[in-house]
Amino acid sequence: MKRHLYTADHEAFRESVREFVAREVVPHHERWDEQRHVDRETWVSAGKQGLVGLSGPEEHGGGGMFRDYRYRNVLLEELAAAYAGGLASSFSLQDDILVPYFAELGTPEQQARWLPRLCSGELIAAIAMTEPGTGSDLQGIRTTGKKVDGGWVVNGAKTFITSGIQSDIVVVVTRTDPDGGRNAFSLLVVERDMPGFSRGRQLKKIGLPAQDTAELVFEDVFVPEDNLLGVEGGGLAQLKAMLPLERLSIAAQGIAVADAVVATTLGYTTEREAFGQPIADFQNTRFQLAELATEADVTRAYVDQCILAWNDGDLTDVDAAKAKWWATDMQTRVVDRALQLHGGYGYMVEYPVARAYQDARVQKIYGGTNEIMKHIIGGAMVRGARSDR
Task: Please report the pLDDT score of residue 47 as a whole number.
Answer: 96
At residue 137, the pLDDT reads: 66
Classify residue 297 by burial, with Cβ atoms within 10 Å: 0-12, 13-18, 19+. middle
pTM: 0.95
Calpha distance 235→227 (Å, rounded): 13
Give the model confidence (pLDDT) of 18-32 as tens digits: 999 999 999 999 999
Average pLDDT of the chain? 95
Task: Identify whether the C-beta of residue 43 lies closer than 8 Å to the C-beta of residue 50.
Answer: no
Specify whether the CB–CB gap between 260 and 81 falls below 8 A. Answer: yes
Residues 351 and 171: their CA atoms lie apart, in Å, by 37
The reported pLDDT for the residue numbered 139 is: 73
Q: pLDDT tens digits for 154-191? A: 999 999 999 999 999 999 999 999 887 778 999 999 99
Cα–Cα distance, 115 to 62 (Å, whole number):
8
221 confidence band (pLDDT: 50, 70, 90): very high
> Which comes out higher in pLDDT, residue 195 or 387?
195
Among 246, 271, 291, 350, the one annotated catalytic: 246
HEC profile for the chain?
A: CCCCCCCHHHHHHHHHHHHHHHHHHCCCHHHHHHHCCCCHHHHHHHHHCCCCCCCCCHHHCCCCCCCCCHHHHHHHHHHHHCCCHHHHHHHHHHHHHHHHHHHHHCCHHHHHHHHHHHHHCCCCEEEECCECCECCCHHHCCCEEEEECCEEEEEEEEEEEECCCCCCEEEEEEECCCCCHHHCEEEEEEECCCCCEEEEEECCCCCCCCCCEEEEEEEEEEEEHHHEECCCCCHHHHHHHHHHHHHHHHHHHHHHHHHHHHHHHHHHHHHCEECCEEHHHCHHHHHHHHHHHHHHHHHHHHHHHHHHHHHCCCCCHHHHHHHHHHHHHHHHHHHHHHHHHHHHHHHCCCCHHHHHHHHHHHHHCCCCCHHHHHHHHHHHHHHHHHHCC
The pLDDT assigned to 136 comes to 65
pLDDT digits (tens, 9 = 90+) for 103-161: 999 999 999 999 999 999 999 999 999 998 776 667 779 999 999 999 999 999 999 99
Q: Cα 76 from chain centroid?
A: 10
Distance between CA atoms of residues 361 and 288, nearest Å: 21
Q: Which residue from 149, 146, 145, 153 is spatially nearest to 196, judged by alpha carbons?
A: 153
Domains of the chain: 8-123 (1.10.540.10), 126-233 (2.40.110.10), 236-387 (1.20.140.10)
pLDDT digits (tens, 9 = 90+) for 340-349: 999 999 999 9
- pLDDT tens digit string along 271-323? 999 999 999 999 999 999 999 999 999 999 999 999 999 999 999 999 999 99
End-to-end Cα, the chain, rounded Å: 41
Round to whole Å and give the CA distance between 333 and 326: 11
For a pLDDT cut of 70, what percent of the chain falls above it?
99
232 is catalytic: no
